[in-house]
Amino acid sequence: MIEFTSKDIFYLVLSLCILWLTSFTCWLLYYAIAMARDLRKLKNHIEEKVVAIEKTFSSLHSFVEKSVGSVGLVTEGVKLAMKFAQNRKKKKSKKKDEDDEE
């Protein structure tokens, strides 16, 4: 028959504790590795988004620079159009005054 001494019970409890500790450590490592993998994927995803945002802002910046450069030309064109309209109005009013004097 098997006799269980206190030393045998101690070794049995110790082996169960080691088994439980090993299982818990494996479970913890599994989840830590899974989280690290997810964080790496998330980091790559975030980097892609940051690159896309930077490209968008750089293209927007160049568009604004080109637009600001052409604003001066548009302003000059509007000034010339206003002068042309004023001269034409003066000529019409001058011609109308001449027609009224006759």
Model confidence pLDDT, tens digit, residues 35-84: 988 888 888 888 888 888 888 888 888 887 877 777 777 788 888 888 88
DSSP tag of 76: H
Return the pLDDT at 87. Answer: 85
Residues above pLDDT 70, as percent of the chain: 91
Tokens coding 54: 């930077």
Report the residue count for the chain. 102
What's the whole-model pTM score? 0.42
Average pLDDT over every residue of 8-19 = 94
CB atoms within 10 A of CB 71: 10
